[in-house]
Amino acid sequence: MEIGCAILAGGRSVRMGRDKATAEFRGAPLIRQVFDTVRQVFDDIMIVSSVHEAIEGVEAPVVSDLLPVQSPMVGIATALIHSVRDRVFVVACDMPFLCVEAIRCLVDEAGGEDITIPMAEGYYQPLHAIYGRSCLAPLLRLIGLNRLKVSGVLPYMVVKAIRDRACYYTPGGALIFSNINTAEELARINSGER
């Protein structure tokens, strides 16, 4: 099955106080850690962002959000519109623990459903999931109603939840879906803490 990839990098980064995608993580922009991981699985990768035209060290086209609304839901809809593939693995740009094994687990499990999504510790992980083009109309409808929480689309779709796999955890026991929200979290991880 042909699946594209979209890295969402257009967030406001309010708590970080600066652009998360380009924040330094172990000597490179944080998004590069994500890009270097996903390119081991996907050939067709795009960055969805209205705040970047290009990102140094990330050789992927940047497409602008289809609406001037900073929301992951808009980013997912944008990815589905721009992708030449019928399915897109969507991931946030600020997940430093992302791993190839967990992405491949989703790709291997994806079938005819609208969304293939990890569920870890009882929670869906919508910013590490595969969305089909069939999600586009419901996403646009919810955006039009200003209901911007990504999990809000799940009740309208055929969802395959891939529950609690070992690959969802780092060797230290942290969830790979953890993201970085503050400069303090980034500094702690850069220093080797989890």
Q: Which residue is associated with the tokens 């996907």? A: 42
Neighbour-count burial for 86-117, b at 16+ CB within 10 Å, e otherwise: ebbbbbbbbbbbbbeebbebbbebbeebbbbb
The Cα–Cα gap between 111 and 87 comes to 10
Pick the CATH number of 3-190 from 3.40.630.30, 3.40.50.720, 3.90.550.10, 3.10.20.600: 3.90.550.10
Sketch the domain layout of the chain as residue ranges.
3-190
pLDDT at 183 over 70: no
pLDDT in tens, 71-130: 899 999 999 999 999 999 999 999 989 999 999 999 999 999 999 999 999 999 999 999
- Where does the pLDDT of residue 24 fall: very low under 50, low under 70, confident under 90, or very high at 90 and above? confident
pLDDT at 15 over 60: no
